[in-house]
């Protein structure tokens, strides 16, 4: 059994404060993760649904949803659905799929209440295909590479928490140092707008089923005794084989959905210009001098 800590009122309040939009992305993500893993009491769940959840950005909703993993009460269920229906941001494909699983614990009436939410999700999906088509002109709109670099390495969408370019960045996702040379502009746009549309080989996500929960992530190591799972930029877990019921590949990328929606059109144009310019100049120079 994975132990899930209960939260005293002070710790709960502390984590809620850390979720504030003014804080940096890593801090917020860590707080959302801690809230999601915690064993919240009914009052705390209602509080979460009543406030923070409705205003959260899509990056954090998936983590916060986990807090409802063991909930089944009518109150918590309706508050959760009401919050998501009210939320100005889409919960996205990943959180949507997780929500579908979580709702199985709730009464038919709570599940029925969620129908408009799923209808909205499907409609959004159609809308996003359209969106991709509309965003294509940004690829050639003359974005600023320097500004794009600052977005990539900045806090707002935190690309570098998972990706390395040059010598800097994280290793959850593929190294993007030469991505402009190996991917077309269209592929780059699709990778950002629809991360789950295709997977980079070696970076497929897996669902690891434990006794009471399913963990999703990249498997970075398999030994006879354990599996090492990376579930996010700062979270790596070693799961003993004895705790694992099944390991199945997941259709959902570890790269968050909807990052493009957190950027303005101008920011996205700059980011795309920066990515397209990543043609690994060093390699090219090395080849020329050979
Ligand atoms: C939580 C980690 C995470 C964050 C944050 C993240 N990514 Fe990713 N990204 C991944 C993973 C994992 C993959 C590989 C799986 C896949 O293809 O979906 C990936 C794949 C990609 C690819 C496809 C690479 C290829 O070779 O085709 C691109 C491009 C990309 N990410 C760009 C970005 C950009 C730009 C941002 C910031 C707006 C970003 N990523 C934020 C984890 C992340």
57 pLDDT band, cuts 50/70/90, is low
Taking CA atoms only, the protein residue closest to ligand 1 atom 25 is 200
Q: What pLDDT score does 248 carry?
A: 75
More confident call, 214 vs 140:
140
Residue range 100-150, pLDDT digits in tens: 999 999 999 999 999 999 998 888 778 878 888 999 999 999 999 999 999
Between 118 and 28, residue with greater pLDDT: 118
What pLDDT is recorded for position 282? 59
CB-ligand 1 contact for 99 (6 Å cutoff): no
pLDDT of 170 over the 60 cut: yes
Long-range CB pairs of 98-105 (<8 Å, 24+ gap) are 98/62, 98/65, 98/66, 99/65, 101/214, 102/65, 102/68, 102/69, 103/77, 105/70, 105/71, 105/72
Neighbours of 78 (CB within 10 A): 18
Say yes or no to pLDDT of 34 above 80. yes
Checking if the pLDDT of 287 tops 50, the result is no
Q: Is 193 in the pocket of ligand 1 (CB under 6 A)?
A: no
pLDDT category at 154 given cuts 50, 70, 90 is very high
pLDDT of residue 288: 47
Average pLDDT over every residue of 139-163: 96
Average confidence (pLDDT) over 206-210: 87
Report whether 59 contacts 262 (CB < 8 A).
yes
Q: Per mean pLDDT, which of 7-21, 47-61, 117-131 is the most reliable?
A: 7-21
Residue carrying structure tokens 């969620």: 114
Mutate which of 33, 168, 195 for ligand 1? The one with the most ligand atoms within 8 Å of its CB, which is: 195
Alpha carbon distance 85, 225 (integer Å)? 43
* 203 close to ligand 1 (CB < 6 Angstrom): yes
Please measure the distance between the N-terminal and C-terminal CA atoms of the chain and give it in whole angstroms: 58
pLDDT band of residue 52 (cuts 50, 70, 90) is confident
Query: 12 C-alpha to center of ligand 1: Å?
Result: 31
- pLDDT value of position 53: 79
The answer to whether 16 and 45 are in contact (CB under 8 A) is: no
Does ligand 1 lie within 6 Å of residue 161's CB atom?
Answer: yes
Give the lowest-confidence range in 90-94, 129-133, 152-156, 182-186.
Answer: 90-94
Whether residue 276 has its Cβ less than 6 Å from ligand 1? no
Q: Is the CB of 206 under 6 A from ligand 1?
A: no
Cα of 97 from ligand 1 centre, angstroms: 20
pLDDT at 265 over 90: yes
């Amino acid at each position: 059994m994975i132990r899930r800590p209960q939260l005293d009122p002070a710790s709960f309040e502390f984590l809620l404060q850390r979720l504030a939009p003014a804080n940096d992305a890593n801090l917020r993500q860590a707080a959302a993760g801690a809230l999601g893993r915690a064993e919240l009491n009914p009052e705390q769940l209602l509080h979460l649904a009543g406030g923070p959840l409705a205003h959260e950005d899509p990056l954090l909703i998936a983590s916060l949803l986990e807090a409802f993993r063991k909930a089944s009460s009518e109150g918590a269920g309706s508050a959760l659905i009401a919050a998501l229906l009210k939320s100005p941001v889409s919960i996205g494909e990943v959180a949507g799929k997780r929500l579908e699983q979580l709702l199985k614990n709730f009464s038919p009436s709570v599940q029925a209440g969620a129908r408009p939410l799923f209808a909205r999700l499907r409609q959004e999906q159609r809308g996003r295909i359209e969106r991709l088509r509309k965003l294509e002109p940004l690829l050639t709109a003359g974005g600023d590479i320097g500004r794009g670099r600052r977005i990539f390495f900045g806090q707002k969408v935190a690309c570098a928490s998972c990706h390395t370019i040059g010598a800097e960045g994280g290793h959850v996702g593929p190294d993007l140092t030469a991505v402009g040379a190996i991917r077309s502009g269209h592929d780059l746009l699709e990778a950002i707008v629809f991360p789950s549309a295709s997977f980079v080989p070696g970076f497929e996500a897996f669902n690891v089923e434990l006794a009471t929960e399913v963990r999703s992530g990249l498997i970075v190591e398999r030994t006879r005794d354990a599996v090492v799972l990376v579930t996010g930029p700062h979270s790596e877990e070693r799961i003993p084989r004895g705790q694992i019921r099944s390991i199945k590949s997941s259709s959902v990328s570890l790269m968050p959905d909807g990052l493009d929606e957190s950027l303005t059109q101008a920011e996205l144009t700059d980011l795309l210009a920066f990515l397209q310019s990543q043609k690994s100049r060093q390699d090219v120079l090395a080849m020329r001098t050979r």
